[in-house]
Structure 1
């Protein structure tokens, strides 16, 4: 079948086409309707179905490819590179989910993620999906006032951050920006979880701030059950840049999003399980959510998370990664 004929079919027979694409993911309970478009422009996809993004991205691969690489975190800023198999990713996501649960985060709660491009950011997103919490990732380059407006809108129970990112070989402190944003915001999150990378000094707020390494140690062997959610359950909120006014929070569902991503991996990117995908975006943007975190993993592929510029140590760095 050609791309053109499939594309035509998706327009002429959306129920037939998308009903078929839905087989690319696991449904804990089958849906009873492909599309309900009774209230345009709001579409409800796969109503009645129960699924989970984290299960589809991680757990379901444990049977066939537990020791295959799932995530490669590369930083040309800190000169660190670490690969995680699907089994190791599963363990890290469970630890992060256990930290959330221990701090009262449950289905429907929001978790704001203000992170550089490090593996823990991936764990934080997948752990939200695992327990049915809704993540709101804010691009690490945003200043305090932009962050504050997103805190007020999403009202996160917890914020996950790192003390610093790095750019061009210099540490970029995140923690002071976050502290200022929380001061500016009228809504105050209960907890702030900090991944300390040892890049800068920072201060902590007693009773609110948690150290990720300490918390992770408490939950090393914890396994957190999957929270099966309705296909129409919100998976995340992502804000428009706000350059043309107040940032608007876009909500993405779970089932339609998972099916759309799995379908693009098959029809557009022609990716196969066991292959590697490198998307050079940032998790603060929708392309990063979709093609750094969820889509490659849904498809049983390895994904590369890259921290650094395309010019460090030299302009050949991306091609070096491609070659590897």
Structure 2
């Protein structure tokens, strides 16, 4: 169909408050907001002030009342445990009411904080929704985080209760959570009152009778007692959750998401960006510890009356690179949302897409990629193999929902490889130079968003308003600083090239590592890559590229490295000073798939560095160090 994007975006620009007031009509309110946007509240203003609502009610109670009690709300698919469960809206509501009763019995009240430290199991989603039901503020911490990282989050949030599990499953083995949890509590400046622990059959935990409570037993008792816990009215501006950004060191940075604006934005995005209808199956192949899991595993699909897939597994290795296609076929997934790095891993193992052809994935209507830059070759490969639109989109933990993308729900716009497409309603994106001046079309600069941010974005950092101002608002007054670098073309398409920290200065020339990665990835033998800037005594910095080669390639790596160097120099010219390409087995990544370029750069420059808390496999950094040593770089042990 023809796209209505321009008309919709223009309608927002002409009257933002009326636009979002209409969107707010899709949410059930206990009291309609007094104002659309109040610029005098909070750090930069608040949306829907005076409104009262409840997120759990809109996700569950409302859906049950509208006839969806027997519709699957959540499909739990765990290849690591061989488990598949279908949870209806009615069944989840029963579990959440019981868990909310447990919370209440433990003294948790509106505004209290609950840390959720769990693997990818349904009970993690139930724990989030039960917190929302009673107006408590949840903070999900990725299951398996190191004790000191968990401790900083316990202290900063002053959590009254921790909900955890006995173990997670990583690499085919059980990872005990309880020792990590106990160690975190021991070193935390704040001590929670109690811990609810869900015992998994793969590994049982020994409970401390003075502090720990068996999750299943407590929920079972609440069901037997028949306690009905109604939804607690909360203000639209009250916090729903705190999400600490990945890689935090020292004092954590807790992104605060409110209730009202969050629901309005997610409901709008499900319908008009993702084009998802109630009853359809949506799969965000992420983790609840990340913002994608919050927005599009738990809250977004349930607000939309859709079915969400909660997947405990990997894109490859559980058991092979065909895992995604099995899930799509088995559950009738219509929309898949994942990170580009997942598709690069799949392509590396199955470059011809042979495993795709073994499954009926005809239900799939679109693929959405976000989290890392989607290089053109990965997008083209996915388009050719899946035969569906592949939609790059760009957003952040702080925004909570896409800033830019190709809105399939409004009718697809032309695709431009390498671009996250156009800004969505609510976002006025601009490109500024370091002095805060607008740059010309096509010029690389700082990507900023004009204030106010739309509904659904962060309101502040937890207990740190001034830090929020300094980190995000002060450098470019009147704008939110994204810390991303990119440019906007003649058609208004946004190209996100890298983090601003990844812009390298080669002999006075500001160059994007993203543009170099795009060229490296275009080589037919390269599955994925990362380019970093390495200190150089003459030029200031010079680029170094790390290449992961497709699984079916048997050529000498030195030959591929020479070809990639020649390719970059041919397309970017000698100014790039690109002379170093190194083939490696894999790249260091966070558990959400982001490549740890900053840590790689510190290793290359012989700077001291700290093991990132979010790293998927610490051994990869040893491999990177060895590869750099082989090329003459000095590494600090």
Alignment partner of 1:91 is 2:94: yes
Bigger RCO (CA 8 Å, 6+ sep)? 1
Out of 183-192 and 200-209, give the one that drifted further: 200-209
Shift of 1:245: 5.1
Give the TM-score of the pair, scaled to structure 2: 0.50
- Output the CA distance in 2 between the equivalents of 1:214 and 1:39: 43
Aligned to 2:190: 187
Q: 1:317 aligns with which of 323, 346, 359?
A: 323
- Output the CA distance in 2 between the equivalents of 1:217 and 1:43: 43
Contact 2:144 2:175 in 1 (8 A): no
Residues 293-308 of structure 1 aligned to structure 2 (within 5 Å): 293-308=298-313
Shift of 1:12: 2.7
C-alpha change, 1:251 and 1:243, in structure 2 (3 Å) is closer
Shift of 1:87: 0.5
Residues 46-85 of structure 1 aligned to structure 2 (within 5 Å): 46-63=48-65, 64-85=67-88
- Output the CA distance in 2 between the equivalents of 1:35 and 1:314: 49
Contact 1:242 1:248 in 2 (8 A): no
Residues 159-238 of structure 1 aligned to structure 2 (within 5 Å): 159-220=162-223, 221-238=226-243
Q: Over aligned residues, Cα RMSD in angstroms?
A: 1.3
Residues 275-294 of structure 1 aligned to structure 2 (within 5 Å): 275-294=280-299
Give the TM-score of the pair, scaled to structure 1: 0.97
Q: For 1:61-96, what per-residue CA distance to the aligned partner results, in whole angstroms no more than 9, with x for missing partners?
A: 112211111011111111111111111011011111
Q: For 1:235-269, what per-residue CA distance to the aligned partner results, in whole angstroms no more than 9, with x for missing partners?
A: 00111124465320111110000000001011100
Shift of 1:33: 0.5
Bigger CA radius of gyration: 2
Match of 1:160, SS state, is strand
- Output the CA distance in 2 between the equivalents of 1:138 and 1:48: 30
Contact 1:74 1:81 in 2 (8 A): yes
- Output the CA distance in 1 between the equivalents of 2:128 and 2:249: 27
- Output the CA distance in 2 between the equivalents of 1:293 and 1:46: 22
Contact 2:116 2:124 in 1 (8 A): yes
Report how many residues are paired. Answer: 324
- Output the CA distance in 1 between the equivalents of 2:5 and 2:175: 44
Aligned to 2:535: none
Contact 1:117 1:305 in 2 (8 A): yes
- Output the CA distance in 2 between the equivalents of 1:228 and 1:3: 35
Aligned to 1:15: 17
C-alpha change, 1:318 and 1:161, in structure 2 (3 Å) is same
Contact 2:242 2:257 in 1 (8 A): yes
Ranges in structure 1 where 5+ consecutive residues have no aligned partner: none
